[in-house]
Amino acid sequence: GSVWGQLPQAPPDPILAVGDAWRQDSDVRKLNLGVGAYRTEEGKPLVLNVVRKAEAALLHDPTLNKEYLPITGDPVFCKLARELALGGDCPAIQQGRVSTVQALSGTGSLRVGAELLATHYKPSRVVLIPKPSWPTHRNIFTKAGMQVQEYRYFEPKSRGLDFQVRLCSHLGEPQRGAVVILHVCVMQVIDPGFLLLAILDVVQSRRLLPFFDSAYQGFASGDLKADAASLRMFANATAPDGGPQELMLAQSFAKNMGLYGERVGALSIISNPLPKTWACKACGRTVHHQQVSLPIHSTVPLPKTWACVASAWAHCALSSSWCDELAGMANSIKAMRSSLTQALRRAGVPGDWSFIEKQIGMFTYTGLTRPQCERLTGKHHVYLTMDGRISMAGLNARGAEYLAGAIVEVIA
């Protein structure tokens, strides 16, 4: 027998398994609403023009080579990444309190951050993750040795924010100093509006450490700056002890640059000024920079030598044509929200589905129950995660019409 004879079967990844099942379905009406990947009206993957142009230019750049990058990545890329998120005029950046390392997209950035927390963060072992949310958060932090707890924010009836009952009480319960994961568009599908200040207040009163996950900057409003407003508000806030608010940030450029498989991301740590004696001997940066490089070397590989991709990003990051293309993607998703809402009305759906147009970003949490989701997949060839989340980017006009009919049938 094999030395692997006793190997137990691994549980399927909740999102990737949806895509696998969709691929195996031969029905022409099938829809893949699991993975958050932008598609053209014909359902094809999209490479942005700015990326194509930058790659073409770089192919002939004689200064590029394929040497290893420094452990903490390409410094130009890191600088651009943090400025994109926080704004170039952010006091934390200007005061040198932001340390950024390049990592393998959003997942790799979260993983490096989780390792740093597990090894060096003293106030608490607890990480609070939003529910519903991206299922991988749980695995990343558990694997790193942190204790995961959930906070709820979603009100199933209105499919909106349940601020008082759930969010505030759940964030107020855990031990002081716990880490809290917040989506940069705070609740991923829900814009908390003026309640953001109250969220900051709960976070600060429990001395929670915010860890922002920025996987969709630009996809909510179509505007990179507007979508970073919550993050910037936290980053510019004063902590209860009178010093600056500290936080962590994981950025992914999978969606907003369409670089999915290229794995482009960054982890930033925004901290109080640290004593000079703590500076890394090699790079002169804060001790974080040095410590963060340890998990990068031992648990995840060195950043990719994207001389190519990282610099491609650097070339086009601040270009207005990127912003235009990103706004185009965000607007077509918004248009899809109204197409689906209208299709549901035409199909005679009972109840109030106006929440589809109120939610933001790439996804909609439909509030459909697990049995309803199972029926959507089993009977109607509509593939989605069993928490009722659908990727609006996986729909087109015909798909919206078909989905509406299927929803009406499963809730009947």
Catalytic positions: 134, 213, 255
Nearest to ligand PMP of 140, 171 (CB atom): 140
Binding part of the chain for ligand PMP, among 56-64, 70-78, 103-111, 308-316 by CB under 6 A, reads 103-111
Pair 344, 360: CB distance under 8 Å: no
- Contacting residue, 18, 22, 30, 36, with ligand PMP by CB under 6 A: 36
Question: Quick one: 72 or 256, whose CB is closer to ligand PMP?
Answer: 256
Task: Tell me how far apart the alpha carbons of residues 246 and 350 are, in angstroms, rounded to a whole number.
Answer: 46
Binding segment for ligand PMP (CB under 6 A), chosen from 21-29, 100-108, 302-310, 370-378, is 100-108
Does 213 sit near ligand PMP (CB under 6 A)?
A: yes
Query: Please, what is the minimum distance in Å from the beta carbon of residue 347 to ligand PMP?
Result: 29
| Shortest distance, position 36 Cβ to ligand PMP, whole Å | 5
Among 189, 199, 215, 330, binds ligand PMP (CB under 6 A): 215
**CB closer to ligand PMP out of 219 and 353:** 219
Contacts with ligand PMP in 314-373 (CB under 6 A)? Answer: none
Closer residue to ligand PMP in complex, CB, 212/353: 212
Interaction between residue 107 and ligand PMP (CB under 6 A): yes
Minimum distance of ligand PMP from residue 181's CB (angstroms) = 9
Residue from 32, 124, 217, 252 touching ligand PMP (CB under 6 A): that is 252
Binders of ligand PMP among residues 118 to 177 (CB under 6 A) are 134
Establish if 231 lies at the interface with ligand PMP (CB under 6 A). no
Q: Which CB, 159 or 255, lies closer to ligand PMP?
A: 255
Shortest CB 255 distance to ligand PMP, Å: 7
- Least Cβ distance, residue 265 to ligand PMP (angstroms): 5
Residue 140 C-beta: closest distance to ligand PMP, Å: 9
- Interface contacts to ligand PMP, rule CB under 6 A: 36, 105-107, 134, 213, 215, 252, 254, 265
